[in-house]
Structure 1
Amino acid sequence: MFLGLVTLSLLAACRASEYEQHVSWKWDSYQGGRSYGKPPQCVDIPEDLRLCHQVGYGQMLLPNLLEHESLAEVKQQAGSWVPLVHKRCHPGTQLFLCSLFAPVCLETPILPCRWLCEAVRDGCSPIMEAFGFPWPEMLTCDKFPQDDVCIAMSQPNATQPTEHAGYSPICPPCDNEMKIDAMLEHMCASEFAFKTKIKEVKRENTDRKVVFQKRKKMLKAGSLKKKDMKKLVMYLKNGADCPCQQLDNLGNQYLIMGRKVDKQFLLTGIHKWDKSSKEFKKAIKKLKSHKCPAFENVFK
């Protein structure tokens, strides 16, 4: 699927001597000089590597370009990025991430182009920030090549996600309201969850400030303490102008999810409490046993 979008000179890549004139790659010098315990090898991309399974090629290089030496480590780390791909913040997100987590199996690895990294970062970092996660240092774009042979989308100027069909400006915590996967992803990006009604919503600089009514039913306490619950105020990060239908209907009961970042409580998910919805009831049931990926190990 994605191979048709990749700008590669495969002939040059297959001729190592010619390719090495363009890319100076050393396994032991990438990301701080780490030495690998075993030589690079080609392995099949497993079905449970959800981020990159059926990405357009069947084998990947291991260790990968993020210094993961085992498939178990790759799957654990890559799983945290699946929700970001689902947010559709940029059409090149999966391509960019898989070029690092599951690089194409070639004699000499090919890095993603710097402009692709920058385009994905610019499209997706606002969504990550809405959930309290900064763009990670391991994906700093200036470490990727500008002029060498590299992996890219077919259109270098495709940097604005809103220009592409299907990419929505809806506030990230407010989208896909009654889809089980979205609710579970919001829960996994959250530290706490409760049921309540909204008292008022105010605009505060580039954020939206959400004040809740006193009565709340706790579903997942996390870092939220009893004293915090009494006068709880949460913020929809960078959400002053993006659409959020839930915040326009203050009479409903809502499932509220959030995280504490610095001294603020961020709103990371809001779903109408609707027992008539089969999707909602299934999601609430799954919330108790669902195993979340370790976001803390990745977004730092």
Structure 2
Amino acid sequence: MVALLLPPPALLAALGGLLASWAPPPAAGASCEPVRIPLCKSLPWNMTKMPNHLHHSTQANAILAMEQFEGLLGIHCSADLLFFLCAMYAPICTIDFQHEPIKPCKSVCERARAGCEPVLVKYGHAWPESLACEELPVYDRGVCISPEAIVTAEGSERCKCKPIKATQKTYLRNNYNYVIRAKVKEVKTKCHDVTAVVEVKEILKSSLVNIPRDTVNLYTNSGCLCPPLNANEEYIIMGYEDEERSRLLLVEGSIAEKWKDRLGKKVKVRQSFMTCLIMFDLSLQRDPAFGITHQHTGKTSRTNEVLLLSDPKSHTIPF
């Protein structure tokens, strides 16, 4: 007769606990891997995980898919676009979140869409359904990633603004929707979006969004204020607009320079001169080099817009 040697009850219980908590090792390709997508190598993470949020199984596939956004990235329609795209195509991978890649926060997607969707619409395209913002997690109610949540050794270098010199060439090329003289009352941050509150002193150019001679908000659609503004300082500000939301935008590519009294006088002289010139030479309105048609809206400004043209021999607006 064979006797069965059974382990004591305590050992059985321990073995049962180990078996219950055991999980098979992750399949090949399920762990973190170095980021190899060229566009995303400048981002503050260097490890990703495939498949990504768009179901690309390899980074090679993701690279091909991201090529469609190179044009948008080239015109800098949103400071958050590259971060958002890389968070979708090359999601950050950490030891604690290897099972499922971390998604970008909803606010990051909304800022990128708000800045770039008007450009897509102008050329007959819509914001891709695969990049819809509605299903992404909210920052304070789920696990997600945003530029503000990443602390790097550079500290505030992420918000270092690239200066843009106010020249005639820049003004005509960028085709700003509005130009105002305004005093900055405050700069506030809400839900990681920076907004500048300004008191409009003078409207030098306006387009489709009504600008009151009052306190207005300039929306950045970003966690950074570029160009930078200081409270209680007076500036001449050139920027764009969000016609659908009736908002004035101060986004990358906008200009803000401290106001000088002599600037206002010269601008007013140019206003009457250019109004007569536009009425005399209607062909000027069809010349894209003079930017009569708005870059962001595709519509024409009111005819009393101020064109800040300098002297023919000068390439700098007389600031």
TM-score range, shorter chain: 0.3 to 0.5
Q: Which has the larger radius of gyration?
A: 2
- By relative contact order (CA 8 Å, sep 6+), the higher-ranking structure is 1
Query: TM-score of the superposition, structure 2-length normalised?
Result: 0.40
Query: TM-score of the superposition, structure 1-length normalised?
Result: 0.43
